[in-house]
Chains A and B, each alone.
Chain A
Amino acid sequence: MAQGPVQLAPGLISFLKSLKTTPADPSVEHLISLLKRRQIRNSRPCAIATTALMLRVVGEFKGRDAAKLVERIRQVGRRLTAAQPREVVVGNIVRRVLGLVREVLDDNTGGDSHTGSDAGHHTPVHHDSMTRPTLSSSISTFSPLRHAAAEPMDASMASDMSDSSELNRRPPLLTSHTSYAPATSAPLVNSLFGLFSQPDDSNASTPTGAASPDGKSAHSLNLERLADLSRSTNIDLKSEVMDGIRELQDELEQSDEQIAGVALEHIHSNEIILTHTASTTVQKFLLSAAKKRKFTVVHAETYPHDNTATHGILLTGRKRETRLDEDDDPWKPLTAAGIPVYVIPDSHVFAIMSRVNKVILATHTVLANGGLVAAAGAHMIAKAAKEHQTPVVVLSGVYKLSPVYPFDIDELIEYGDAGRVVPYEDGEFVDKVDVEHPLYDYVPADLVDLYITNLGGHAPSYLYRIVADHYRTEDITL
């Protein structure tokens, strides 16, 4: 009865529905407008929508030209990220899909006769350095100069700066067939690890220093090579990539369960756990622990932007926005599992913290340096926990891990409707006072003790490695 109007409301569900019937291009437009209007928001819905769209885009791609496919995905990705740059997850998914394409190519051009089905199994999650052809690696990649240029700079800036000079200096030969990638701005792989695990990222013949990262010229060159390669080897690129994307979808679906699976390793009985916002990941994590153990949850309500969802999730086990989404997968609220939940206003965090054993935070995005962007209030919670020496655990699917470096933190912070803070009926107040409503906080890496992703637990300092595993350096700039 109440579901009629809800289904009509534009959002993730309506998008997924329309995606079945609409061709790719209008769907891209559709998603862009949904993102712009914030009708799809938060990491998870964005990720699901983007993956579905990518599947469609790849599915409708005509021809066998890998370079064109890469270019097409890139172009869609650029538009999507431009539509809502702060939903970093969109970019993450696009990069992972790009990585898939390159992987399929890699596998097929690596000399051995990979069959399609074989290559399809190489999802980003599982791929490790061993599956890559280990060919020429070059020390030159790691020269300090290059390192400096690659690391601290925003990739787009770097490419702007180096564009012209690079064209001339780049050596015309790319001898090795794996070296189509001129080691673009790679924030993290340029370490000693990279020496052995990612040889194919480096450009064998790049002279030191001269090779500043990325550039259009380099790109086009690469793409030509890609095209050559794909033409020469007759592979079923499209279906392999689509298989990969489907596995990505599976990963999205399962990540919560996988994270919840390790819950018992982290929660002992009679613990007092503090969390905030309505996060399905955290709720499932706690629920899975609640099956075996008794503990107490203190829940900061995240007023004003997420309090409704928080109260909703505690009362009924679901947020309003995911109502239909979750209908096939109903789960009880934490309280029904016999876990006492204390809802506190956010200002009480410091007062309560002395009793808390563990802080579990949900996140919006995890950044490459181990910091995270999470719902507003996360920073003060993490900081208060640090002051009380309480461990802070962050739960995050790998899909939220992003290669973005937080050089400009303010860029990542979204500001919401000030009317939620002070209602607009209070016109006089709103007129005279600057009411601000930041939606997200940046939490520096040193306030976090542990990350739990669907791959397991990691120290914040190790995250860069997982980023390097999941994103190809050449895709970091879309």
Chain B
Amino acid sequence: MSGLVEGEAVAPPAAPLQAPNDQAIPAAPAKADPKDAKPVEDGASKKLSGAELKKQKQLEKQAKRAQAKAAAPAATQQSGPPKEQKQKEQKQSQKKDEARPLPIRRRPSQSNAVPQQHAKRDSKRDQKNLGLFFGHLYSQPRQHSMVGASKDVHPAILALGLQYSSYVICGSTARMVAMLLAFKAVIESYQTPVGTSLARHLTNHHLSPQIDYLRGCRPLSISMGNAIRWLKDLIIKIDPSTPEAEAKRDLVEEIDMFIRERVTAAQKLIRDQAATKILPGDVILTYASSSIVEQTFLQAHKAGVPFTVVVVDSKPLFEGKTLARKLANQGITVRYYLITGASHAVKDASKVFLGAHAMMSNGRLYSRVGTALVSMLARSHSLPVLVLCESVKFTEKVALDSIVGNEVAPADEILSEAERASLLPLEPHLPTTHPSKNKSDNDKSTAEDAKSGPLDVLKWVEGSENLHHLQVLYDVTPAEYINMVITEYGSLPPSSVPVVHRLSTNT
């Protein structure tokens, strides 16, 4: 997949580059080969063979050296490697190229990167992270800007996509609802072109680019997939004879209804039921943040049940902090741990409430990474583990481990701004072979070096060839750690998930 993209991207940029890069052109495809082979191999066998490893390492080293040189403006005139590097960048496909001037990520850890560096980092990351574990997940570069989006994409969707990619809208229910609301806007402003019918054109030609754009911003959540399937189904079933205005009104109404039934009402049912599980004096442990868990806590608190909440949180997004803040503002006693302290947090807890990203058909819970750890610890302390999940998030997919299907998070965000700053004093100790070290030796006077900021730390990480940072967003909790799933259909054991899924999709 990625191979294809690379393959076709290599050819066009080669043309503008003139004569001296004769050797660079053959070099590039040769380079691409092992890399193409790699994801496949990762999927199949556990490890690369020694020879291949060596080969790949050599290539990486080459690339890195090239990169180091390319980074120095003075060196750009050199033939060979820098050119190669340029190609690499362009290989990232047109979109990426255009993404360069507008890095709109607004994660707290993200500093205001110089755009050029940003793009370089992206290209670099893609090569490096075709790694041992989640190599198969890196096939699609993430889109972080609205530049390059197809012109068909509706402004509401454009805005939404950015909110997705910057994690402003986060959580599978929230993302689904936001998507449906944006689709409402899309449908309202939709005009069926002459010669086609709404049922045919809207799904395939108008909604698809919107969905593709959203997928490019962040992989679709299970609930979004479910909702999209539902919506397409609905549109296809529209009688072609219906006048367009009426059809559009019907669709919008149906969407509202869907949100009301499957989300709002479902959440109310779930929280009513779950709140009864909170008894006076309980210490409820929860991981990260889930809107439905939050509602349950607030409901129980309103009912006057005295209980304590332990929020366990972890790195990629620190969602639990928001939950803890909200609950504390409502007057609930909250304790806050990070995942490293989870084994201590579990000790005092009496119940565990978890939100879900999705419930798999084999009863496993697909949720924020770390959930599996918390439920494992809870189980070893014999605590009941309750999952609160609307049936919209049920899926017929199955999963055994967290590796096959997952979503990568930007790896450079492992190091927050503060952490990078605290690593800065290590600079003199970087190994002398280190590319970034060489670079700074070479051109001390360049502007890039003058401000040795926290960004440099990221460069070290990229520079050291065997060091990879790895971050994903979800993990899969085995069904045996889960005691109960509370849905709007009632409370069930995880083994009943496929049944409920069938129920909810058939009706």
List the interface of chain A (C-beta within 8 A of B): 2, 270, 272, 294, 296, 301-305, 307-308, 311-312, 314-318, 320, 323, 332-336, 338-352, 354-355, 375-377, 379-380, 383-384, 387, 413, 421-423, 428-429, 432-438, 441
B395 within 8 Å of A by Cβ? no
Task: Report A-chain residues with C-beta under 8 Å of the C-beta of B311.
Answer: 433
Q: How far is the CA of A340 from the CA of B470 in the complex (A)?
A: 12
State in angstroms the CA–CA spacing of A339 and B132 once bound together. 13
- In the complex, the answer to whether A317 meets B377 with C-beta atoms within 8 Å is no
How distant is A1 from chain B, measured CB to nearest CB, in Å?
Answer: 9
With A308-B423, A380-B373, A421-B338 already in contact, the answer to whether A341 and B467 are too (CB < 8 A) is yes
Q: CB within 8 A of B467: which of A314, A323, A435? A: A314
Give bound CA distance, A54 to B364, whole Å: 57
B304 within 8 A of A: no
B:338-366 near A, CB below 8 Å: 338-345
Which residue in A272, A303, A338 is a CB contact (below 8 Å) of B340? A303
Q: Do most interface residues of chain B lie in helix, strand or loop, or is the interface mixed?
A: mixed
Contact call B464/A333, Cβ cutoff below 8 A = yes
Which of B334, B337, B373, B461 contacts A349 (CB under 8 A)? B373
Q: Which positions in B face A, CB cutoff 8 Å?
A: 46-47, 50, 53, 57, 131-133, 311, 314-316, 321, 324-325, 328-329, 333-345, 369-370, 372-373, 376-377, 380, 401-403, 406, 414-415, 418-419, 422-423, 425-426, 428-431, 433, 460-461, 464-472, 474-476
Indicate if the CB atoms of B325 and A351 lie closer than 8 Å.
no
A434 B471 Cβ-Cβ under 8 A: no
By the criterion CB–CB under 8 Å, are B336 and A436 in contact? yes
Query: Cβ of A345 and Cβ of B401 under 8 Å apart?
Result: no
Check B419 against A311 for contact (C-beta < 8 Å).
yes
Min CB distance, A338 to chain B, in Å?
7
B314 touches A345 (CB 8 A): yes
- 4 smallest CB-CB distances across A and B, nearest first, come from A347-B370, A351-B402, A432-B328, A335-B466
Quick one: closest B residue to A356, CB to CB?
Answer: B133
Please list 29 pairs of residues, one from A and one from B, whose beta carbons are closer than 8 Å in the complex, sorted by A's number. A272-B46, A294-B50, A303-B340, A311-B419, A312-B426, A315-B461, A318-B429, A334-B466, A339-B466, A340-B132, A341-B467, A342-B133, A342-B470, A343-B470, A347-B475, A348-B370, A348-B475, A350-B370, A350-B402, A350-B475, A351-B474, A352-B403, A354-B402, A380-B339, A380-B340, A380-B342, A383-B380, A384-B372, A437-B338
How many angstroms between the C-alpha atoms of A350 and B460 in the bound complex?
A: 28
In contact, A428 and B471 (Cβ under 8 angstroms): no
CB distance from B22 to the nearest CB of A (A): 32
Min CB–CB distance B40 → chain A (angstroms): 17
Contact B315 A345 (CB under 8 A): yes
Q: Is the CB of A342 within 8 A of B468?
A: yes
CB proximity of A445 to chain B, nearest CB, Å:
15
B47 to chain A, nearest CB (A): 5
Complex: A117 Cα to B461 Cα, angstroms: 53
Q: Please pick, from B132, B340, B377, B422, the residue contacting A346 in the complex, using a CB distance under 8 A.
A: B340
Q: Which of B47, B329, B338, B433 contacts A304 (CB 8 A)?
A: B338
A312 to B472, CA, bound (A): 22
Q: How far is the CB of A12 from chain B (nearest CB, A)?
A: 18
B373 touching A429, Cβ below 8 Å: no
Contacts of B464 in A (CB 8 A): 314-315, 333, 335-336
